[in-house]
Amino acid sequence: MKGLEARFRFTRGALKLAVELALGRGEWCALSGPSGVGKSTLLRCLAGLEAGVEGLISNGGRTWLDSERGAEVPAHKRELGVVFQDAPLLPHRSVQGNLAYAERRARAAPPRAFARREVEEWTGVTPLLERAPRDLSGGERQRVALARALLTAPSFLLLDEPFSALDPEARDEIIIRLRRETAERAVGVLWVSHAEEDVRRGASRLLELVPGDNGSVVREKEVLSRPLGKAVEGRVESRP
């Protein structure tokens, strides 16, 4: 089955992207690169949150963007789960309200969809359900944002430093589980992180966004031969 394919250009001020990218269903790709190179903007372009993107984007053979033909699928119709660093939750709804908002608009039913109770549990938001977003810590907000994105039953997850505010143990635990859950449902993941460590632990493919002559380009860094779950679990076990 065809995954997410993108070939586009985008310019905003000094920032220029000239991206070519193909992500398979169920693949875990880590995206690194120097800061300011446009990693977050790349995700925003894929999610349909930027105007003026030129080129082609498609998912599973379905066109999301064809700027030459003037065709564009708006953000709310792209089956993506998006977690941006520091993005707010819906401030007028409790954690529970935020999750329900996502679940009600889910793009698929089980088994492809994630079960609400289960997700609440392993993302660690069960004790937070009654709380208001403004009473959450950064790490708690990130857990809720992840749970919320999963409940929309996405075909791909776009994660922009999704666990930056979690402590390493909690991060490992979530990564292992997320890895399994996404693999079971063939959900692809594109994961931006500054922490090289983070990226290696989770990813089956390493991508790098680097400055080029006509804008930042995506470069394949290395394909890990090691099965990934093992790499992650190995690391956790070796923790003193």
Partner 1 sequence: MRPGDIAALWLTLRLASTTALLLLIMGTPLAWWLASTRSRLRPLVEAVVAMPLVLPPTVLGFYLLVLLAPGGPIGRLWASVGGGPLVFSFGGLVIGSLLYSFPFVVQPLASSFEAIDPLALEGAATLGAGPVDRFFTVAVPLARKGFLTALTLSFAHTLGEFGVVLMIGGNIPGRTRVLSIAIYDHVEALDYASAHLLSAILLVVSFVLLVAVAALGRRTTRLRLP
Which residues sit at the interface with partner 1, rule CB under 8 A? Answer: 47-49, 74-77, 80-82, 84, 87-94, 97, 101-102, 105-107, 132, 148-149, 152
Q: Which is nearer to partner 1, 92 or 117 (CB)?
A: 92
Q: How far apart are CA 57 and CA 65, in angstroms?
A: 5
Q: Which is nearer to partner 1, 6 or 176 (CB)?
A: 6
Interacting residues of 73 by C-beta distance below 8 A, sequence separation 6+: 48, 62, 63, 64, 65
Q: Where are the beta strands (DSSP E) in 3-155?
A: 4-12, 15-23, 28-32, 54-59, 62-66, 71-72, 80-83
Min CB(11)–partner 1 separation in Å: 18
Min CB(76)–partner 1 separation in Å: 5
Of 119, 123, 92, nearest to 106 (Cα)? Answer: 119
Min CB(74)–partner 1 separation in Å: 7
Q: Which is nearer to partner 1, 102 or 166 (CB)?
A: 102
What are the angstrom distances between the C-alpha of 167 and each of 95, 116, 142, 172, 181? 21, 24, 12, 9, 21
Tokens coding 92:
């007028």
Min CB(148)–partner 1 separation in Å: 7
Of 93, 113, 92, nearest to 103 (Cα)? Answer: 113
Q: Which is nearer to partner 1, 86 or 196 (CB)?
A: 86
Min CB(65)–partner 1 separation in Å: 15
Asked if residue 192 lies in contact with residue 47, where contact means CB atoms within 8 angstroms, the answer is no
Min CB(94)–partner 1 separation in Å: 4
Q: Which is nearer to partner 1, 18 or 164 (CB)?
A: 164
- Per the DSSP assignment, residues forming a β-bridge with 66 are 56, 71
The continuous run of DSSP H or E covering 191 comes out as strand 188-192
Min CB(75)–partner 1 separation in Å: 4
Q: Which is nearer to partner 1, 47 or 217 (CB)?
A: 47
CB atoms within 10 A of CB 140: 19
Beta strand 71-72 with 62-66 is antiparallel
Q: Which is nearer to partner 1, 92 or 230 (CB)?
A: 92
